[in-house]
Structure 1
């Protein structure tokens, strides 16, 4: 039998004074009331109630046990109420993992706006380009670029990265404007490092469904995008990056897009989160807000 249920039946018997009254109050049979009390007494090896034909009263042990049962049942009710509350009202600490460049440039400002809307939520935003383990590292929401791999989490697609190549007017004036991807082999290229060297030593371009992989060269490589952007604006070479990060510099004329007739490698981006009944209100609200801001559709709010 369930011990907490038996405790609840026992405390009700202590308060109402008869099994019949408990049966009516809890909508069970008097025989089931007796079984719950007997289960506890057998488990504890002592009598909890003095029984007469008309009424029950607590033994000395039963009286002490009753007081502790009330505390335990009250704490259990509080714990369950807390869980119900967390499933309906966003609150608590939410750990989020995201790629460094996207996280610092786009997600971090979004998180500050989200926190203004949900004052009872705290966000721990960890930016890393490595593949994290959500179970070992305690992440409830993750944003990933590229293949999500095997996962028991739900993966919702966000708007993909559109990759473009840019350089400063001064650099292009001195070194010339590349008109085909192959011309990049003659230029100083500023490469963003992530993963193995092969991922940043080759740039991919597509035109008319034909894809070209170009092995680039350059003396500056970095895993810090602002450093590469600053170097490109200073005229140190051609860089390849997400359009949303380069658009402001293009608008001001600090950078000029090169190879505009070619599509850079588009990279998929996803938000991953737990499935089904385990989805708390804080996770649901955050995921919905991210998808509204960066994606296509919201998650089920039920």
Structure 2
């Protein structure tokens, strides 16, 4: 007879104290319950349950065997649940928070591809550069750029958020190509954020392992990098921005890489999930696809990532 079925019958008999109750719970006859117990005892060569016409109780060996059987059956159920979860198709609303520039240019195309692959999923994307409270504001997935503070959230590292400097061909034709990082001090730089004399903007570059810091000057500053990129495209100055975005404009010939022999700033990037929120199939699948898509692969491999995410 089937070993696992026998163990299931035995555990039920130990817990319910009656073959008749077990028979009703498992939709089998009391005679079949007795056969399963007898087959189990015969295979083990020992008595597991002492039975009389009025009562039954476990032997010492039966009690030990019962505890192990409970563990085995629980692990079997967990294994089945994992397979069921993996086979399930993700569905429902995923509430995502991400930084503005990354969310607008890089994450949004990923999401549209993901929605195409999983028609039962909806995504609500909120873009902001402030630190959000995922529980209070009801976000299930958060993407953050920069060093992580101590957090109760589960975090997975993505490819670093790499920055490069660029300018338009027309700007370079008028003002020349900077040869060193310090040359940027003489150029019109497009500065992201709001800065003051007490907190100046700093652009950090590396060459041959040596760090060089530049304090860019320029007449155009903005807290929205899209505005600065547009100014760069129109030939107004040098911008420092995400390599992922600027490389596309370089390929089109709209921009030129400034200081290509230098390595620009790089910031860690993570996807986070609050530990207080259950990681359902929809979240697990979305996270897996994100980690594949933003692992540093090229665009062709990235476009395929959503199909490998689950």
Q: Given the two structures, how large is their TM-score scaled by the length of structure 1?
A: 0.67
The residue aligned with 2:91 is 91
The residue aligned with 1:122 is 122
For residues 195-237 of structure 1, give each alpha carbon's deviation from its aligned partner in whole angstroms, at most 9, with x where no partner exists.
Answer: 9998871111111211122111111112222221111111111
The residue aligned with 1:62 is none
For residues 82-129 of structure 1, give each alpha carbon's deviation from its aligned partner in whole angstroms, at most 9, with x where no partner exists.
Answer: xx9899441221110111111111111111111122222211111111
Q: How much does 1:290 deviate? A: 0.7
Q: Distance in 2 between matches of 1:296 and 1:257?
A: 19
Whether the aligned pair in 1 keeps the contact of 2:140 and 2:277 (CA below 8 Å) is: no
Q: How much does 1:248 deviate? A: 2.2
Q: 1:230 to 1:199 in 2, by over 3 A?
A: farther
Give unpaired runs (5+ residues) of structure 1.
Answer: 1-18, 28-83
Find out whether 1:143 has 2:146 as its counterpart: no
1:240-255 matches, cutoff 5 A? 240-255=240-255
Q: Distance in 1 between matches of 2:165 and 2:262?
A: 9
Q: Distance in 2 between matches of 1:141 and 1:185?
A: 40
Q: Distance in 1 between matches of 2:90 and 2:22?
A: 39
The residue aligned with 1:292 is 292
For residues 130-158 of structure 1, give each alpha carbon's deviation from its aligned partner in whole angstroms, at most 9, with x where no partner exists.
Answer: 11111111111111111121112221111
Q: 1:240 to 1:198 in 2, by over 3 A?
A: farther
Q: How much does 1:267 deviate? A: 1.2
Q: How much does 1:277 deviate? A: 9.3
Whether the aligned pair in 2 keeps the contact of 1:163 and 1:265 (CA below 8 Å) is: yes
Q: How much does 1:274 deviate? A: 4.3
The residue aligned with 1:191 is 191
The residue aligned with 1:54 is none
For residues 53-82 of structure 1, give each alpha carbon's deviation from its aligned partner in whole angstroms, at most 9, with x where no partner exists.
Answer: xxxxxxxxxxxxxxxxxxxxxxxxxxxxxx
Whether the aligned pair in 2 keeps the contact of 1:178 and 1:184 (CA below 8 Å) is: yes
Worse overlay, 151-160 or 125-134: 151-160
The residue aligned with 1:159 is 159
Whether the aligned pair in 2 keeps the contact of 1:161 and 1:268 (CA below 8 Å) is: yes
For residues 252-290 of structure 1, give each alpha carbon's deviation from its aligned partner in whole angstroms, at most 9, with x where no partner exists.
Answer: 222111111111111111111245993100100100111
Whether the aligned pair in 2 keeps the contact of 1:191 and 1:200 (CA below 8 Å) is: no
Q: Given the two structures, how large is their TM-score scaled by the length of structure 2?
A: 0.65
The residue aligned with 2:24 is 25
The residue aligned with 2:102 is 102
The residue aligned with 1:222 is 222
The residue aligned with 1:111 is 111
Q: 1:199 to 1:192 in 2, by over 3 A?
A: farther
Q: Distance in 1 between matches of 2:145 and 2:230?
A: 23
- Give the secondary structure class of the aligned counterpart of 1:135: coil
The residue aligned with 1:180 is 180
Q: 1:87 to 1:271 in 2, by over 3 A?
A: farther
- Give the secondary structure class of the aligned counterpart of 2:106: helix
Whether the aligned pair in 2 keeps the contact of 1:168 and 1:235 (CA below 8 Å) is: yes
Q: Distance in 1 between matches of 2:97 and 2:157?
A: 16
Q: Distance in 2 between matches of 1:258 and 1:212?
A: 15
Q: 1:195 to 1:131 in 2, by over 3 A?
A: farther
